[in-house]
């Protein structure tokens, strides 16, 4: 992203984690973001800073919403 964060998916947990800043796991699927992803496999950040995630179980591309938990 614009802050040089690196994200990875943890498919078995349905989570997206911030690799280089684990304290800022805004999309970790906990709290207000719980159950947002089922089986995330692909991640991209658009020019506006929005995170988009491919979820293969639901055959969807989802916009990650929310903030730090």
Distance of CA 30 to the CA centre of its chain: 11
pLDDT at 59: 92
Residues 2-55: tens digit of each pLDDT: 888 888 887 777 778 778 876 666 555 554 455 678 888 888 888 888 888 898
Check if the beta carbon of residue 55 is closer than 8 Å to that of residue 41: yes
* Whether residue 68 has pLDDT greater than 50: no
pTM over 0.75: no
pLDDT at 36: 73
């Amino acid at each position: 992203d614009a802050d040089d964060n690196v994200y990875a998916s943890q498919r078995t947990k349905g989570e997206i984690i911030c690799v280089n800043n684990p304290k800022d796991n805004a999309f970790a699927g906990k709290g207000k973001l719980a159950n947002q992803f089922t089986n995330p496999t692909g991640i991209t950040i658009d020019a506006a800073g929005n995170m988009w995630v491919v979820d293969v179980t639901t055959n969807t591309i989802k916009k990650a919403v929310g903030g730090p938990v």
